Amino acid sequence: MAGVTRARMTRRCRIERDASLGTGAGADPLNGPLAPVWEAHLADVPCYYFEPTGQRGEITGTRNADLYAPRLLIPTGLDVTENDRVHGIYDRDGGLVLDRTLGIVQIVRKPDHWLLVTEVVEA
């Protein structure tokens, strides 16, 4: 099964990390947290991006919303945390496939891959 999952990872993504986390830099003038400083952490990470549908829905009055969380499969063993984010998904030739920034909500560790549950933070 490991080869099948890895074979699906035909895209590449860039994972960014907040460089100001854990530096003890303090707070802003209003005593709030500092704005994040996003820097490239991992580049050209093999991935498979998909958006499952039909997971759950919400009906409020006259509006129906189909809610989903975009998912990303990546290889195991990478230094990735829920504090990181995914910025852009590319094909093997470097062409942009998805121009969104995805925050990582949850990392589900599978035996042969990691499943990142994400949310769009910048479109």
pTM of the model: 0.77
Report the run of H or E that residue 109 belongs to, with start and end.
strand 96-109
Q: Which amino acid is at 72?
A: L
pLDDT tens column, 57-99: 555 566 655 556 789 999 999 999 999 999 999 998 889 998 8
pLDDT band at 35 (very low <50, low <70, confident <90, very high): confident
Retrieve residue 70's tokens: 């975009």
Retrieve residue 88's tokens: 């852009």
Retrieve residue 81's tokens: 């945390």
Number of residues in the chain: 123
pLDDT score of 109 more than 70:
yes
Q: How far apart are the first and last CA of the chain?
A: 34
pLDDT tens column, 19-28: 887 655 556 6
Distance CA 3, CA 18 (A): 32
